[in-house]
Amino acid sequence: MGMATLSQLIARHAGVKQRAVVPAYRAMARANVFLPGPRVFANSFPKGGTHLLSALLGELPRMMFSGVHCAAGDFTAGAPRADAENMDWDRLRRTLGRVNRGQFMTAHFPYVEGLERELDELGYSSLLILRDPRDVVVSAQHYVTKMASHDLHRRFTEQYRSADERIRVTIEGFPANELGRGQDSIGERLGRYLPWLSMPEVLVVRFEDLIGQAGGGSRERQDEQVERIALHVGRPLSPERVRAVAGRVWSDRSSTFRQGRAGGWRDELSPDHIALFKAVAGDQLIALGYEADLDW
């Protein structure tokens, strides 16, 4: 299988990262050292648009996926929350260093003091994609329930047996027990990502702006965001190339659209869920710019 085919598979299809192609792809990516910089740190909240952003980056000229994906919990030696004191910085530096110039990695990384300096020293450009947290809750509930390999799958099938329960605990959190680890509330988890928004070197983009008309957004906003991202990672595009790239990633035939549209939470969150979300994460929803107040 050639490099272009592997790159397209990794960038466009979520499941590929978990399949056997990944070791071969990573070995090939490590050998590819001739692309112009920068390295790219494509960060997101889990179920917040990772695959959408990856698909776009994979379509940019002379840019490829590194085969590297990591989460903050990979570097904390089992500690439930990442911070500057419990991070294995040496291991993190080695992981970041496996990404070559002109390659992007994906990550689920709340803000940890000092990480921005490590990224800067290694020549990274950083992106953070946001998605309406209400849609994140719905997406996470479906994903964990159907994904048998997920570490919360047993909790979401044996302990929380209804969609109503699973949505509720995804919002309010749950403790560890004999079925597996616990999880903080959606408000607590989102709060740890908020510091990224105040960093001028991090380009913040929104899932809702990137999906275009086929996902419930607008073509104009989509083109604008594609142009901004391409410029941020040193791959400026002409208006014609912007439209071509957007059309390849987000079309009616793209699997991305079958996996998520903007505003789907309105069909799945009950009035009780909405009241709970306002109590648990209303402030974070406002801080992220998805509502102006709690009157929604």
Residues 72, 116, single domain; the answer is yes
Check whether 186 has a pLDDT greater than 90: yes
Check whether 21 has a pLDDT greater than 90: no
Residues 96, 228, single domain; the answer is yes
Residues 31, 157, single domain; the answer is no
Order of strands across the sheet that contains 202-206? 64-71, 103-108, 39-44, 124-130, 202-206
Domain that holds residue 116: 3-132+199-259
pLDDT of 258-267, one tens digit each?
455 688 999 9
Residues 177, 214, single domain; the answer is no
pLDDT of 41-84, one tens digit each?
999 999 999 999 999 999 999 999 999 999 999 999 878 789 99
Establish if 296 belongs to a structural domain.
Answer: no
Residues 172, 236, single domain; the answer is no
Residues 174, 207, single domain; the answer is no
Establish if 44 belongs to a structural domain.
Answer: yes
Contact 104, 66 (CB under 8 A): yes
Residues 20, 90, single domain; the answer is yes
What is the pLDDT of the chain when averaged over all its residues? Answer: 88
pLDDT value of residue 262: 82
Check whether 289 has a pLDDT greater than 70: yes
Residues 209, 89, single domain; the answer is yes
Residues 93, 57, single domain; the answer is yes
CATH number of residue 227's parent domain: 3.40.50
Residues 103, 245, single domain; the answer is yes
Establish if 168 belongs to a structural domain.
Answer: yes
Establish if 53 belongs to a structural domain.
Answer: yes
Query: Which letter does DSSP use for residue 193 in this model?
Result: T
Residues 179, 237, single domain; the answer is no
Name every residue whose Cβ is closer than 8 Å to that of residue 108 and which is 6 or more positions away in sequence: 43, 44, 45, 46, 50, 70, 71, 72
Residues 120, 251, single domain; the answer is yes
Establish if 295 belongs to a structural domain.
Answer: no
Which ranges constitute the DSSP H helices of the chain?
3-12, 21-31, 50-59, 89-97, 115-121, 133-146, 153-154, 163-172, 186-191, 207-210, 219-232, 239-249, 255-259, 271-287
Establish if 249 belongs to a structural domain.
Answer: yes
Establish if 227 belongs to a structural domain.
Answer: yes
Number of structural domains found in the chain: 2
pLDDT value of residue 253: 53
pLDDT of 124-147, one tens digit each?
999 999 999 999 999 999 999 999
Establish if 113 belongs to a structural domain.
Answer: yes
State the pTM of this model: 0.88
